[in-house]
Every structure is written in structure tokens, then in C-alpha cells.
């Protein structure tokens, strides 16, 4: 029964590539959005904090699916002069924003986990706030942020399946076409499920690699290696098992 | 194209019907997820190595596959193997089972954190296993997992919009139909978005109230 769908392998691989590109771009977008929103949510000024908090709650209040439909079908009607989003841009924008809202909470948690004394030390040394953030606080917070963001990234790979609704020809879109031609429903969806699963595994492994090169983790490893027996290549921070969606 | 109030009012009853379906679907999915998750956690904890491995495999499977793929699978593939269910049943089962896997992790965490002294006390009192589970361990585990479980109910409510893909008349599906019929998408999708956001408020209120009660009980 698999033979019938084998001839569509190139099309399915094309779709997989599209899914991978959408996932990669939206994960990068979400990283940027979550850093911005997360830092603003921890800002000293009340108004900035409230605005960022409002944006996060708004974006998390509904599923990415609802926002995608609104951005693609309803938003152009509100702005007649501006040309319509193409499906690809709309998808990546919405996924980045919604993913960023979830990521902002991870970033905020990571910033809170940095000991209070570090902030005071930056102040005492007279570091400008921006430098204090980028040179001192964030490098330490990243070892808290990256594991959480990794499991969000895995979720985002799964979220990309919604882009087929606005006509992006991702792997699910192609699979539906192949299904309607060959009627090999079970085989087609088993293949697609396996492809998504592997893609998720790949993203998860990639984040394990990133965790290993983080400044704080590297420093910790170096200090441990000088005192104890060397670690057998395991990443230092354990991954959280429960995913948030 | 600008906002048309009379059209918005005209489609509102239809959308509110969709809200009702969304609430019913969320309740049904939550029931499946919460009860199923508890079942999975108990089986994994008393089933020995085989039970644990099976449950682990199921959780890993659902973690890597999008809900949409599972929904399509249930909708298109199940009839081929002779199992024809109405779309709403397929939707409830798929969402319910996937989140049962997630919820089982919460229950498992709660079961692990129950102090060993309680187990010892049950053994010392000579309580039968059934009583230990039903009257001691499960009530404790459920109480401890409650905030995380309510959070999953909220997630389920947001994810229920996906069921429009297999034709369940949830709020998003109603908006889409209204849009198709009149070629006006601005009002249906905007109203649907707002209704989805508004409906969060009761959930967030419940969560907040539960957390308050929990904190007070512990203080």
C-alpha cells in the first residue's frame, strides 16, 4: 500500500522543507519577540511592564489558529491601502508573536532566577542598564531560559501545521493532496506523523547542543572538571518533561 | 471595507451558538483528559515496568505529532478500518487522549511528591490497597495537581478551535461559515477572536480563586 505514495516522495519532501523553513523562521522570530517582551515585562517602569504584560496576555488568550485567520482574512479589510499579507509572511508573523508571548514568560522567569546581588553589583560598578543586561544578566539567565525555550520550540514545530489553512504548501498540505489522489489515508498520515516526530526530535537535540555552549554552563563545566572527575558528556541542565502548548 | 454593525449583529446569534458548542466540547475533552490522565498515571505507577514503558511510549508519541495530524487521522483513516464516528466524537477523543497523556505527567509528579510516611502509615494500619488508592493517595494527588490541571483545561479550551478542521461547529467554524456566505470576513473573525478572548476570563478567574484558596489553606 505504500507503493502508491512512494511516487509522491519529492512533493512530500518539498512540503517537509517548507515546514522546516516556517518552523525555523518562526522560532527565530519568537526568540526575538520573547526577549523583547520578557525584558519589558521585567522593566522598572510600571507603564512598560503593564503594556508588555497586556500584550502577552492578549497573545496567549486565544490559539495561534484564531490569530492566523484574523490576520489573513480580517486584517486586510481594516487596512485597505496596504497590500494583503502573503500566506507565508502572515504565518511567520503570527507564529512568532504567539510563540514570543509564551517565550516571554520563560525569559522573565530566567531573569528572576538571576541572584539579586548581580543587579546590585552592576549598579555599584556603574554599568549602564543596557550593558548590565547584555553583558551580565542575560548570559547567566540564558542557562535557565534555553531549556524552557527548547520545549517551546518543539511545540512551535507542531504549531506550524496550521499554516496549511491559509495556503502555505507545508507537509500537511501536500499530505492532504496526496491523500485525495491516492486514498492511501492511513499510510499518508503515518508518514506525516513520523516526519513531524523526527523534526521535533531534531529541534530538541539542536537545543541540547545550544545548551552545552551557553556561557554559564561552559563555565560551570570548566570549574567542575578542574575539581571533580570529568562529566561524561551530559548537558548540565535537565529538560522539563511537561510541555506547554 | 469598513465595519458593518448591522451585519455584525446579524451573525452574532450564530457565533454565540458556536460559543456554546466550544464550551460543551471543552467540558467533554477535559473530562476525558482528566479522568484518562489519572488512569494512565495509576497504571504507570502500579503496572510495573511494562505499564510504565507503554505509558511512556504513548506520551512520547503524542509529544511529537501535531493535533491537526491526529485529527485528520481520526477523521479520514478510522472509517477505513471500519470505525465511523461523528466528527465531534473524534475531536473530543483526540484532544482528550492527547491531553490525558500530558495530564498523566502532572498526576505522576503529584504522586511522587506524596511523603513516604503516608505510605508507611497505610501499611501500618493494614489498609487494603484499594482503600489506600481511593481514599488516601488519589485525593492527595488530585488536590496537589489541581492548579496545573485547571491550566490544561484552559489550554484545551484554546485548542478546541482546531476541531473546525474536521467540521465540528465550534466558534471558529461558525465564523468561517458566516464569512463564506457573505464574503465578508472582517466582522466574523474579529467577533470570534473577541469572544475567544472574553471566554478566557471565567477560566482565569477560577484559576486565580483556586490559587488563593490553596495559598490560604497552606498558610
Listing DSSP states for B74-107 in one string gives: IIIIGGGGT----HHHHHHHHHHHHHHHHHHHHH
pLDDT band for B215, please (50, 70, 90 cuts).
low
Which residue in A73, A78, A172 is closest to B68 by CB distance?
Answer: A172
**CATH code of the domain containing B134:** 1.10.3720.10
The reported pLDDT for the residue numbered A157 is: 96
For the full predicted model, state whether its pTM sits above 0.90: no
**Residue B40 located in a structural domain:** yes
B161 and A66 in contact by Cβ < 8 A?
Answer: yes
pLDDT higher than threshold 90 for residue A13: yes
Kindly identify which residue of chain A lies nearest to residue B176, measuring between CA atoms: A69
**Residue B1 located in a structural domain:** no
Is residue B41 within 8 Å of residue B144, measured between CB atoms?
Answer: no
Q: Which domain holds residue B101?
A: 10-214
Give chain A's domains with CATH numbers.
Answer: 10-171+199-227 (1.10.3720.10)
> How far are the Cα atoms of A22, A245, B34, B88, B89 from residue A171, in angstroms, in the given order?
11, 21, 32, 25, 26
Kindly identify which residue of chain B lies nearest to residue A194, measuring between CA atoms: B65
Question: To the nearest whole number, what is the mean pLDDT of chain A?
Answer: 88
Structural domains in chain B (count): 1
Provide the number of CB pairs (under 8 Å) joining chain A to chain B.
111
Distance from A60 to chain B by nearest Cα, in Å? 9
pLDDT higher than threshold 70 for residue B191: yes
pLDDT higher than threshold 90 for residue B163: yes
A67 and B193 in contact by Cβ < 8 A?
Answer: yes
Asked if B10 is an interface residue toward chain A (Cβ–Cβ < 8 A), one would say no
Distance from A180 to chain B by nearest Cα, in Å? 10
**Residue B2 located in a structural domain:** no
User: Which chain B residues are within 8 Å of A164, Cβ to Cβ?
Assistant: 68
User: Which chain B residues are within 8 Å of A197, Cβ to Cβ?
Assistant: 61, 64-65
Share of chain A above pLDDT 70, in %: 91
**Residue B126 located in a structural domain:** yes
Measured between alpha carbons, how far is B23 from B29 in angstroms, rounded to an integer? 10
**Residue B87 located in a structural domain:** yes
Is residue A29 within 8 Å of residue A41, measured between CB atoms?
Answer: no
The reported pLDDT for the residue numbered A50 is: 94
**Residue B219 located in a structural domain:** no
B81 and A66 in contact by Cβ < 8 A?
Answer: no
Measured between alpha carbons, how far is B105 from B100 in angstroms, rounded to an integer? 9
Please give the backbone phi and psi of residue A170, each rounded to the nearest 5 degrees, phi first: -85, -175
Amino acid at each position: 500500500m505504500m507503493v502508491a505514495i512512494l511516487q509522491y516522495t519529492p512533493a512530500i519532501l518539498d512540503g517537509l522543507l517548507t515546514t522546516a523553513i516556517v518552523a525555523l523562521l518562526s522560532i527565530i522570530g519568537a526568540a526575538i519577540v520573547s526577549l523583547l517582551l520578557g525584558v519589558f515585562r521585567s522593566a522598572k517602569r510600571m507603564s512598560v511592564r503593564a503594556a508588555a504584560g497586556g500584550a502577552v496576555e492578549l497573545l496567549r488568550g486565544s490559539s495561534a489558529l484564531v490569530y492566523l485567520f484574523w490576520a489573513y482574512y480580517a486584517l486586510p479589510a481594516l487596512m485597505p491601502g496596504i497590500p494583503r499579507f502573503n500566506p507565508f509572511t502572515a504565518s511567520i508573523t503570527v507564529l512568532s508573536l504567539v510563540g514570543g508571548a509564551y517565550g516571554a514568560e520563560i525569559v522573565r522567569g530566567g531573569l528572576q532566577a538571576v541572584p539579586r546581588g548581580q543587579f546590585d553589583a552592576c549598579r555599584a560598578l556603574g554599568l549602564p542598564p543596557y550593558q548590565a543586561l547584555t553583558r551580565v544578566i542575560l548570559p547567566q539567565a540564558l542557562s535557565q531560559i534555553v531549556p524552557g525555550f527548547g520545549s517551546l520550540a518543539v511545540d512551535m514545530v507542531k504549531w506550524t501545521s496550521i499554516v496549511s489553512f491559509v495556503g502555505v504548501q507545508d507537509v500537511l498540505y501536500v499530505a492532504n493532496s496526496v491523500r485525495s489522489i491516492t486514498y492511501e489515508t492511513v499510510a499518508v498520515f503515518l508518514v506525516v506523523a513520523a516526519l513531524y516526530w523526527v523534526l521535533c526530535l531534531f529541534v530538541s537535540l539542536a537545543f541540547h547542543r545550544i545548551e552545552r555552549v551557553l556561557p554559564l554552563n561552559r563555565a560551570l563545566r570548566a570549574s567542575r572538571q578542574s575539581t571533580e572527575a570529568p562529566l561524561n558528556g551530559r548537558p548540565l541542565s535537565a529538560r522539563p518533561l511537561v510541555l506547554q502548548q | 471595507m469598513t465595519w458593518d454593525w448591522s451585519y455584525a449583529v446579524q451573525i452574532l446569534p450564530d457565533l454565540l451558538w458556536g460559543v456554546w458548542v466550544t464550551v460543551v466540547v471543552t467540558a467533554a475533552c477535559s473530562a476525558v483528559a482528566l479522568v484518562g490522565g489519572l488512569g494512565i498515571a495509576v497504571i504507570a505507577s502500579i503496572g510495573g515496568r511494562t505499564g510504565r514503558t507503554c505509558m511512556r511510549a504513548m506520551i512520547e508519541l503524542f509529544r511529537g505529532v501535531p493535533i491537526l495530524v491526529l485529527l485528520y487521522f481520526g477523521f479520514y483513516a478510522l472509517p477505513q478500518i471500519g470505525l465511523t464516528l461523528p466528527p465531534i466524537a473524534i475531536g473530543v477523543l483526540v484532544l482528550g487522549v492527547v491531553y490525558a497523556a500530558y495530564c498523566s505527567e502532572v498526576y505522576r509528579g503529584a504522586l511522587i511528591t506524596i511523603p513516604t510516611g503516608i505510605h508507611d502509615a497505610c501499611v501500618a494500619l493494614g489498609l487494603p490497597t484499594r482503600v489506600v488508592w481511593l481514599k488516601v493517595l488519589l485525593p492527595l494527588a488530585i488536590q496537589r495537581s489541581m492548579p496545573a490541571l485547571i491550566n490544561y483545561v484552559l489550554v484545551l479550551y484554546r485548542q478546541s478551535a482546531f476541531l473546525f478542521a474536521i467540521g465540528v461547529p465550534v466558534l471558529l467554524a461558525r465564523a468561517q461559515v458566516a464569512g463564506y456566505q457573505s464574503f465578508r470576513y472582517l466582522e466574523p473573525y474579529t467577533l470570534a477572536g473577541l469572544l475567544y478572548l472574553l471566554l478566557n476570563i471565567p477560566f482565569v478567574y477560577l484559576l486565580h480563586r483556586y490559587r488563593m484558596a490553596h495559598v490560604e489553606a497552606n498558610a
